[in-house]
Amino acid sequence: MTNQALLQRFLKYVKIDTESDPTSNSTPSTSKQWDLAQLLFEELQQIGMTEVTIDDNAYVMATLDSNVNYNVPTIGFVSHFDTTPDFTGAHVNPQIIENYDGLPIPLKGVPNLFLSPEEFDDLLLYKGQTLVTTDGTTLLGADDKAGITEIICAMEHLIKNPQIKHGKIRVCFTPDEEIGRGAHKFDVKQFGAEWAYTMDGSQIGELEYENFNAAECKVNFKGKIVHPGYAKGKMENALYYATAFINALPRTETPEETDGYEGFFHLTKCQGSVDSAELNYIIRDHDFEKFVNRKQQLQQVADDLNQKYGKVIVTLEINDQYFNMKSKIEPVMFIVDIAEEAMRQEGIEPLIKPIRGGTDGSQLSYMGLPCPNIFAGGHNFHGRYEYVPVESMQKAMAVICKIAELTAIKFNK
């Protein structure tokens, strides 16, 4: 498949608004996700996939039948079609930068806004390539519409090139990954694969089988509002209590101050008034014991404040979201080895590192479907500086095809 055909498919997908909504209880969480789900259902049929289904929750599955006469384990590839609610994905207007020259790129939808290698030095890795950027007014949606593009293009390539031998392949496209629910209604039994790969990583070469343990925490503060002219000894300001809570946590253990295996507390939202206030945190750590300690640390801060004021002014609600998939992948490390070898055969140096986040694969691994994560090629997800090199998407497509081929070779006994 040519770069141009892959690019046109990607551009079609990103122009469809699929933002998810954490406040909704439906699946998918927004009705507009159905627009892309239905399109993918139709396209999978058009390219010649079999067993194409779309369920009541918008999970799209399909099969590429084996073309060998011996038993090969069924493998899968998974991507999500929703985009984050953190930044708008409506009315995406992509910019195409051909033969990138290494200079700052004007994001023409916002005056004097640039995507610059002075801020994002990874841009220089892609001099001479074709980049797809935002116009500065929206995110791009390469997370994870690049992954969807790569999977469908790979399946179409395998169908058109039957000389590439492979076993049975299953694909699935999911809603609501960005709000932590992408795997919640994933039917692992129906999917029927022995293992799978999420195409949901970033930079070319990324190969990941470790991710954060994750939880969310809602912190509620109770104050007392009275007229400020008569407030002495009576008013209790919930906003000050919230400030005290924030200041009690280590300032250097935040996303902007940490890297690699370092965990963090991330304050994502702060709202309230004198009478009541609420903080929203996410808690992340690769090490499970440290993860547990972080949750206990939040509770200790709350307990200390309640003791200081002699009554309950703060309460916590902590909910686990997902766990590190490492323990589920290590017993079947050969599936990582296959992906690593596929990259090397395609001229890509694997970048094996922990995910500073999560994927559908982390939850799926705990549901009985071991599922490492492979690069989709994009950078600067979830904001106006997002971009993806077309050549990286082309390489990701090639890696999918090579994984299918190497799996068939490995089990040809």
CB atoms within 10 A of CB 5: 11
Task: For the chain, give every domain's residue range.
Answer: 3-211+324-410, 213-322
CATH superfamily of 3-211+324-410: Zn peptidases (3.40.630.10)
**What is the Cα–Cα distance from 48 to 62, expressed in whole angstroms?**
10
21 touches 30 (CB < 8 A): yes
End-to-end CA gap in the chain: 31
Interstrand relation of 195-201 and 114-115 (parallel, antiparallel or unpaired): unpaired
DSSP state for residue 371 in the 8-state scheme: -
Instruction: Supply the pLDDT for residue 42.
Output: 98
To the nearest 10 degrees (0 to 180), the angle between helices 3-14 and 390-410 is 110
Distance CA 406, CA 10 (A): 27
Residue 66's pLDDT is 98
Domain 213-322 classification at class level: alpha beta
Query: How far is it, in rounded angstroms, from Cα 271 to Cα 277?
Result: 6
Q: Side by side, which strands form the sheet with 387-389?
A: 95-97, 131-133, 387-389
Q: Which among 135, 144, 176, 177 is annotated as catalytic?
A: 177
| Active-site annotation holds for 42 | no
Q: Which residue has the tokens 């300032």?
A: 251
325: amino acid identity, one letter? M
Instruction: Classify the phi-psi angles of 183: left when phi > 0, otherwise alpha if psi is within -120 to 50, otherwise beta.
Output: alpha
Position 1 scores a pLDDT of: 64
pLDDT in tens, the chain (413 residues): 678 899 999 999 999 999 999 999 999 999 999 999 999 999 999 999 999 999 999 999 999 999 999 999 999 999 999 999 999 999 999 999 999 999 999 999 999 999 999 999 999 999 999 999 999 999 999 999 999 999 999 999 999 999 999 999 999 999 999 998 999 999 999 999 999 999 999 999 999 999 999 999 999 999 999 999 999 999 999 999 999 999 999 999 999 999 999 999 999 999 999 999 999 999 999 999 999 999 999 999 999 999 999 999 999 999 998 899 999 999 999 999 999 999 999 999 999 989 888 778 989 999 999 999 999 999 999 999 999 999 999 999 999 999 999 999 999 97
Q: What phi and psi values does residue 257 have, to the nearest 5 degrees?
A: -115, 5
C-alpha–C-alpha distance, residues 61 and 41, integer Å: 8
Query: What pTM was estimated for this model as a whole?
Result: 0.89
Residue 65 structure tokens: 């039948």
**CB distance 38 to 166 below 8 Å:** no
Least Cα distance to 13 among 81, 77, 105 occurs for 81
8 A C-beta contact, residue 223 and residue 239: yes
Give the other-Cβ count within 10 Å of 281's Cβ.
24
Q: Where do the H-state alpha helices sit in 133-231?
A: 142-160, 188-191
Residue 207 backbone dihedrals phi, psi, to 5 degrees: -140, 120
Q: Is 105 exposed, middle or buried (0-12, 13-18, 19+ CB in 10 A)?
A: buried
What are the angstrom distances between the C-alpha of 167 and each of 17, 64, 371?
34, 8, 18
Q: Which of 82, 208, 285, 386 is the catalytic position?
A: 82
Cα 211 to Cα 265, 319, 323, 328, distances in angstroms: 16, 17, 7, 12
Torsional sign, CA 375, 179, 322, 190: negative
Q: Which two tokens stand for residue 38?
A: 């239905």
177 is a catalytic site residue: yes
Question: Minimal CA–CA distance to 84: which of 365, 378, 396, 364?
Answer: 378
Torsion 310-311-314-315 (CA) sign? positive
